[in-house]
Amino acid sequence: MLHETHMDGERGQEVEAAFSKRLKVFCSGNPTSPHTKEGVAIILNKDYVNVNNTEQTEIVPGRAMLIKMNWHNGRKLNICVVYAPNVNGTNGHENAEFWRTIHQYFEQNPNKRPDILAGDMNVVEAGMIDRLPAHDDPEEATEALDNLKILTGLHDGWRDTYPDQKAYTFHQIATGSQSRLDRIYATNSFMTSSREWNIGATGICNADHKMVTVHASNEEAPSVGKGRWAIPNHILKDKQFIQFSLKKGMEAEQALEEI
């Protein structure tokens, strides 16, 4: 999930075309200046998920987008990526209105409520621990976000895992201030099958944000052992492999018949 992408649908198609074998790109750009500000995107890796029939919905163009994707055993997963407006000092009105708009959308569309909501919130809920220097953000903004969390049943995964730890995802070079603006919220059911909540470098030079990551799995998915999970295509045409496979298959069939 990406934010501040400066990418519209046309540019998203160009990116996808360059990596079409592996990636599927869903994006939403600013309606008037898609290449200069805002923008959100969700990138799916075809090696790990089934991207067929994925549904995309723009909630706030360039700032909030939802996809409904295949998960496992017929189950769907709703993922929402956000890039919230800035909080300016004691003025959190624009940020609060953003959360109210999303709240209204999910109130009217309960079947689309997210299992995961992630991105740059541009507001923190606990300023004494999530900002340096420590200070609280405007109550109007934090209350609007909290109301959305209550409606959707979402929890701050990293904070729930590390309730007392201080870590920051955004460093403002001009002032030296830091804050944990980037977060992943998830439902209880998703939290129980998730692990390795981390904050780390993005690998992009001069990036002022760090990346929040989590390892998610489906509790109903079969266990996958070590080694390759798929046979390379060229091996399927190898004569020695084919002979080996036939031999082992016949041995297995005979063993079953003798049971």
Does 72 count as an annotated binding residue? no
Give the C-alpha distances (Å, rounded to integers) separating 229 from 21, 210, 223.
18, 31, 11
Q: In angstroms, how far is the first alpha carbon of the chain from the final one?
A: 51
Q: Where are the beta strands (DSSP E) in 46-162?
A: 55-60, 64-70, 76-83, 116-120, 131-132, 155-156
Residue 226, in any domain of the structure: no
> Taking the model in full, what pTM does it have?
0.85
Q: What are the backbone angles phi and psi of residue 229, rounded to the nearest 5°?
A: -95, -10
> What's the pLDDT at 226?
77
Residues tagged active-site: 83, 120, 209
Range of the domain at 181: 2-216
Residue 7 lies inside a defined structural domain of this protein:
yes
Residue 8 marked in a binding site: no
Q: Is 208 annotated as a binding residue?
A: yes
Structural domain contains residue 257? no
Residues 184 and 180: their CA atoms lie apart, in Å, by 11
Question: What is the pLDDT at residue 123?
Answer: 96
Residue 105's pLDDT is 98
Q: Is the dihedral of CA 24, 169, 29, 36 positive or negative?
A: negative
Structural contact between residues 172 and 208, judged by C-beta atoms closer than 8 angstroms: yes
Q: In this structure, is residue 236 part of a structural domain?
A: no
Q: What is the pLDDT of residues 217-236, one digit of tens each?
A: 877 766 767 777 778 888 88
**Total structural domains within the chain:** 1
């959308």: which residue's tokens? Answer: 105
* Other beta carbons within 10 Å of 194: 17
Residues of the chain with pLDDT under 70: 221-222, 224
CATH number, domain of 57, equals 3.60.10.10
| Euclidean distance between CA atoms 94 and 87, whole angstroms | 8
Helix (H, G, I), strand (E, B) or coil at 11: helix
pLDDT at residue number 204: 84
Residue 172 belongs to a domain: yes
Residue 232 lies in a domain: no
Residue 114 lies in a domain: yes
Residues in contact with 190: Cβ distance below 8 Å, sequence separation at least 6, in sequence order: 115, 116, 216
Eight-class DSSP state of 56: E
And the tokens for 90? 């004691």
The answer as to whether 112 is a domain residue is yes
- DSSP class of residue 209 equals B
pLDDT tens, residue by residue, 64-86: 999 999 988 788 999 999 999 99
* Ligand-binding site membership of 209 (annotated): yes
